[in-house]
Amino acid sequence: MRDAAVRVKGGVLGGAGLVVLLWAAQVRPSARLDALFATAAHLTGLLAGYGILVLLFLMARVPAVEHGVGAGRLARWHALGGRHVLLLCFGHGLLALLGYAVHEGADLLTAVRDLLGYPWLAAAAAGTVLLGVVGVSSARAVRRRVAHETWRGVHLAVYLAAALAFGHQLAGPDLAAAAWFWALAHAAVGVPLVWYRAVVPVRQALRHALRVAEVRVEGPGVVSVVVHGQHLAELRAEPGQFLRWRFLTRRLWYTALPFSLSAPVRGTALRITVKGIGGHSRRIRRLRPGTRVLATGPFGALTAARRTRPKVLLIAGGLGITPMRALFETLPGGPGEITLLYRAGAEDQLVLRAELEAIAAGRQAGLHYLLGPSDGAYDPLAPRALAALVPDLAEHDVYLCGPPGMTQATRGALLRAGVPAGRVHTECFTF
């Protein structure tokens, strides 16, 4: 996974360097203030356009990238990159405005009016506004108050913003001599984006013919959905991975949500376990047998391939138990080599408990429930507590999945307890 992440980062930085070289080859040195503003505007515009392509590529769901880097890490890179792209877009607009105002000897309001009179500049301005709206919707203070479905819908504006910016980039003087390069770069991102986000899901839907077979209650507000289909072995879905599910009902068809497999694929059956948090996940409880399902994937890198040691510790918090339950059953290991720690607020919040206990008994694996409020005085996932539960903790690979705050805190505790960073494997699906 680390090698894949290094390669992707190297490719992104290499592409940025190539964009800078493209800009440098077209620079006409000048000490005039308007020329300096224009030159800086060209560079920030090129980098902003390239950044948008990188953001789209990170979310294109290319299997080699998703499996090698991990969906959670890609989402974090996407969020971080989005902030930089917004700064570049606004910086480009401001520098171009200042350059025009100085060149024409006009005030800023007049410069704004004049520049918006050019169709492609007006389109680029509209694209920048759309990106700004997407950025605001992703801010933590806003994100917590916006439904997941609304947030995803707003993010579709990125495609329109990229299309508006593309026309401006080709029309601009900074790319007059290299339009072919920019078009090729857009094609290199656009083709896999359309293929993996549009063509592949339709092909999988026709091939696997998925339908809901059963919805059963697992606990307060928690249900498991069993889905039957054909040729499921072709999915190559591994324990620990997730798919993006779209249930074809009147109120669910337009949103695809990521849910981990809560059991290994068995014959014609897939299973997910869902807690009713958002509006869509609550509606899943009312699904009827026979409902058609579209599922794309699998995605994620929280799989057995990341294992480096004979002993494995699985740590789950809340509904993070779903991928851990599948791994708990399937990871190779003899008696005492596999241990699961399950963090929950209270006993009635434990999900799939009977299955976990049956697996533990059958495999002679360790299973510990860590109960209590998250803000309690005693933290069962503190370094000393973890070392007491698992005496040779530093000799384990650790798989960790849960709410973002719990995951971040537990990862820090594991590092302080002596577990090397390369042996702590996490993935967060809250994106």
Mean pLDDT of 328-347: 89
- pLDDT digits 0-9 by tens, 311-321: 999 999 888 89
- CATH architecture of the region 209-299: Beta Barrel (2.40)
Mean pLDDT of 131-156: 72
Mean pLDDT of 63-67: 79
Instruction: Phi first, then psi: give them for residue 80, nearest 5 degrees.
Output: -65, -45
Mean pLDDT of 234-251: 88
pLDDT for the residue numbered 377: 74
Is 18 or 282 the better-scoring residue by pLDDT?
18
**Tokens standing for 336?**
């005492």
Mean pLDDT of 336-350: 88
pLDDT for the residue numbered 261: 92
State which CATH number among 3.40.50.300, 3.40.50.80, 1.20.1250.20, 3.40.47.10 fits the domain covering 304-426.
3.40.50.80
pLDDT at 85 over 90: no
pLDDT at 179 over 80: no
pLDDT tier, 278 (very low <50, low <70, confident <90, very high otherwise): low
Q: CA-to-CA distance for 211 and 233, rounded, in angstroms? A: 16
Q: What are residue 244's DSSP bridge partners? A: 258, 296
**Please, how many CA atoms are within 13 Å of residue 380, restricted to the half-sphere of its CB?**
17
Q: What is the mean pLDDT of the chain?
A: 83
pLDDT at 235 over 60: yes
pLDDT for the residue numbered 380: 86
HEC secondary structure over the chain = CHHHHHHHHHHHHHHHHHHHHHHHHHCCCCCCHHHHHHHHHHHHHHHHHHHHHHHHHHCCCCHHHHHHHCHHHHHHHHHHHHHHHHHHHHHHHHHHHHHHHHHHCCCHHHHHHHHCCCHHHHHHHHHHHHHHHHHHHHCHHHHCCCCHHHHHHHHCHHHHHHHHHHHHHHHCHHHCCCHHHHHHHHHHHHHHHHHHHHHHHHHHHHHHCEEEEEEEEEECCEEEEEEECCCHHHHCCCCCCEEEEEECCCCCCCCCEEEEECCCCECCEEEEEEECCCHHHHHHHHCCCCCEEEEEEEECCCCHHHCCCCEEEEEEEHHHHHHHHHHHHHCCCCCCCEEEEEEECCHHHCCCHHHHHHHHHHHCCEEEEEECCCCCCCCCCCHHHHHHHCCCHHHEEEEEECCHHHHHHHHHHHHHCCCCHHHEEECCCCC
pLDDT at 423 over 50: yes
- What residues does each domain of the chain span? 2-201, 209-299, 304-426
pTM above 0.85, yes or no: no
Percent of the chain with pLDDT over 70: 92
Q: Poorest-confidence range of 48-62, 120-134, 286-300? A: 120-134
Mean pLDDT of 103-112: 82
Which of 110-114, 195-199, 353-357 holds the top average pLDDT?
A: 353-357
